[in-house]
Amino acid sequence: MAEQRLWTHLSAVPAAALLLGLAGCAHQKPHFYPNATTSTRTPAQQQRDLQQCEALAESQGLDYDDGGDLAGRTVRGGVVGGASGAAVGAVLGNTGRGAAVGAAQGATYGFFSGLFQPDRPHPVYRNFVDRCLRDKGYDTIGWK
């Protein structure tokens, strides 16, 4: 009975995590320092210039992100958690169970901490887009 109540409460966790995770999925975009280019182009023209630079970066084989960060955090968390769980399990007399619990806990921590990290562009992609924008007359001051 208590186990059934626990699973009822835990079933809401993935939905909440998904909604919160999606809130942090927006890509960062460059911000421009006001200059002659930004003063003579409308926001729509500035957006079009940015999209052209992003498309050019992608045509050169560059991606916004490297795609492995969340998976890497999950794996690293599982390995570290498994090792520490095995150590605690050895002290308490059940190494296998300690390792399993530690690995699950570590992987869960790695996964969820990765979900809530800001979505930052790969440095090479960012440099490429910044250079393209600079060639168009923009002065980027950072990405946000």
pLDDT in tens, 85-141: 667 677 777 778 777 777 777 767 666 666 666 578 899 999 999 999 999 999 999
Burial bucket for residue 56 (CB in 10 Å: 0-12, 13-18, 19+): middle
pLDDT at 51: 97
- What percent of the chain is modeled with pLDDT above 90? 38
Structurally, the chain folds into a number of domains equal to: 1
% of residues, the chain, pLDDT over 70: 58
pLDDT value at 34 more than 80: yes
| Residue 45 domain boundaries | 2-143
Could you give the 3-state DSSP secondary structure of residue 94? coil
- Predicted TM-score (pTM) of this structure: 0.55
> Count of CB atoms within 10 A of residue 102's CB?
23
